[in-house]
Chains A and B, each alone.
Chain A
Amino acid sequence: MTAISDPQSVAALAAEAVDNRVNLDFETEGMTLNMGPQHPATHGTLRIIARLDGEQVISAEPMCGYMHRGYEKLTEVRTYPQINALINRIDWLGSFANEVPFILAAEKLMGVEAPPRAQWIRTILFEMSRIANISLFLGDFGLQLGGMTAGFYAFRDREWVLNQIESATGGRFHPNFDRIGGLKDDLPKGWIESSHTAMDKLLAFCDELEDLLVGNEIFQARTRGIGVIPAEIALSYGLSGANLRASGVDWDLRRDNCPPGLVYDKADWKVWTHPDGDCFARTWVRLQETREAAKIVKQLLDTIPSGPVMAKVPRIIKVPEGEAYVATENPLGEMGYYVVSKGDLVPFRVKIRSASFNNISIVPWVARGAYVPDLISILGSLYFILGDIDR
């Protein structure tokens, strides 16, 4: 052990020593429970070290980094179009939504704006990514709480929206379809009609799931009053998306601070909030969000303008010097890119602000005092994608 003089190793050893003495002031037999890195309830490789006093959690510390891919470093050696393919892999369930804020940041620095038709299709695909992402949550959360059926319905009906994304972009999970100045291609023939059908199916799925899962007595017993997060705490941790709206904060970037390039103001829709801040509220808000997303898609499909899908941009993308932060309301919450450009083919620095990173950093706070089965409810309802935490 040559590294023992390294202060970090010393600190790690000291922490280990503290681990062995946990619960001394409680005078009870403490227990350290290791969940993960591979555990069915963590969907991914999130590892949680929980210290228990009987059935109660004294502390829960998420251990990140099992999927850290160093995207912020990689962006410094890749061109803007290449980064677009890379950042698809951050939140892999709503990939198209990852591309949009980055492309919008580059467009802002370049002073380019996509033509209206591209803005419409962008918004439609953005909302479809949201549906694909959240519909899986609705099924998966049921699964984690022991309701197997919901999972099958979710996987069945998510196919409808994945098929639409695939037929428009060519990729089910990683479209890489957004371009600086517009989109790669126009929509295929018959896509608008088939999208209407898909959205109808999804709206029916929401109704079905509301009866099946959200109205279920056992589900409510497992989620109501569990993992309550007050609004002020949520804000200071930077919780965003449905997690924040479930704490009663009426804030949605799509409505309140929509960056130019997306056309949410062209559709009539509603931002849902819930005052409770518990696991049930988070699920309920997401269910409503899925419905609203389907409504947005249906309205925009009817008003989609004709015209080109690509603005005139140079073939070799050089982004002028400057800094810009663009954030959008992604399925998991606020996702933003702080782009620093030096006028080169590659960005100088890209800070990726991903939603799950902030959303999951509240776990040590919210899990304290919870019971072990409730920890599953809390983790499930905060809803994270591992790639979105570790980047």
Chain B
Amino acid sequence: MSQLSSADTETLEEAAPAIDEAREAVLAEITARLGEGVVGSHIRPGDDLWIRVDRANWVAAAEAAKAMGYRFFDFLSAIDWLPSPFGRDMDSQEDRVVSGTPAKEPEAMVQGYAGGETRFQLLARVYSISAGMGITFKCDLPDDDLTAGTWSNVYAGANWHEREAREMFGFSFDGHPNMINLYLPADFVGHPLRKDFPLLARRVRPWPGIVDVEPMPGVADEEGEGE
């Protein structure tokens, strides 16, 4: 694994500026508009910008972005940062106890770019066609009150995305005009995209992929690439 990529990669890295002035300026303007509302940010030069705002400024962030020319609405969703209690093989901690395998220590919760303090984070992206850049917004939601303001008055397209986020993660959006399930039946119990929602198909049948990722006999030795 000495070299992972072709020779072109080096030139690309040189071309990307170490400091992305355009994105720094966007971040500065959002910070100027929201003040203390911006609680975290991350810039990958020449590529992307992440801004984390607090919950009180979630709608204000959308309004600020739209006023700055970010008129194209990409998506709105969420991330559940809880490490899956079921693990890759989808054996729950209880199953391990029953089968006599020692229970695993739960991994620590580590949030991604722009940081975070809570398990659930809203994730939304808007794009400016004139600037050719997008902004990814994040927002922490405390576990005891998974509520945020609705973006659907700023970006009409957020309507459906918020309905999806509601049923998949169990959030609610203040002021949303039509807060009913989009995909799931009305009597569905649970929020499927939460990490602690078990994927029952995997509980019944073990993970077939586990076969594929084990080094096959002989192959790993010949290629010297297996881990």
Contacts and interface: CB of A to CB of B under 8 A. Distances in A.
Nearest to B185: A65
A21 interface: no
A325 B223 CA distance: 32
A77 B219 CA distance: 25
B4 A235 contact: no
B193 A8 contact: no
A334 B132 CA distance: 14
Given A77-B88, A315-B219, A358-B157, 12 more contacts: A12-B180, A12-B186, A65-B185, A113-B6, A114-B6, A232-B71, A256-B132, A314-B4, A318-B227, A323-B112, A338-B125, A390-B183
Scoring A76, A79, A112, A336 by chain B CB atoms within 10 A of each residue's CB, the highest score goes to A76
A304 interface: no
Contacts of B180: 8, 11-12, 15
Contacts of A372: none
A113 B7 CA distance: 9
Interface in A340-359: 340, 342, 344-346, 349, 351, 353, 357-358
A215 interface: no
B73 A358 contact: yes
Contact of A311 (B5, B84, B168, B227): B5
A237 B73 contact: yes
A334 B74 contact: yes
B99 interface: no
Contacts of A365: 156
A325 B136 contact: yes
A315 B159 contact: no
Interface string A232-272: 11011111100000000101000011001000000000000
A349 B80 contact: yes
A3 interface: yes
B60 interface: no
B212 interface: yes
A113 B9 contact: yes
Contacts of A76: 84, 195, 199
A264 B158 CA distance: 31
A312 B136 CA distance: 32
Interface of B: 1, 3-6, 8-9, 12, 47-48, 50, 71-75, 77, 79-80, 84, 88, 90, 110, 112-113, 123, 125, 129, 132, 134, 136, 154-157, 159-160, 168, 179-187, 192-193, 195, 197, 199, 202, 207, 209, 212-213, 215, 219-220, 223, 225-227
Nearest to A257: B132
A107 B154 CA distance: 34
A116 B159 CA distance: 41
Given A238-B157, A312-B3, A349 B79 contact: yes
B132 A236 contact: no
Contact of B212 (A73, A82, A113, A240): A82
Contact of A314 (B132, B154, B183, B225): B225
Contact of A68 (B183, B197, B226): B183
A8 B186 contact: yes
Given A73-B193, A236-B157, A78 B209 contact: yes
A62 to B, nearest CB: 9
A232 B50 CA distance: 25
Contact of A338 (B123, B187, B199): B123
Given A3-B187, A316-B226, A361-B157, A79 B125 contact: no
A234 B110 CA distance: 37
A324 interface: yes
Interface string A305-327: 00000011111101000111101
Q: Give the top 6 A-B pairs by smallest Cβ distance, nearest first.
A: A65-B183, A238-B157, A237-B157, A238-B73, A361-B160, A68-B183
A146 B227 CA distance: 59
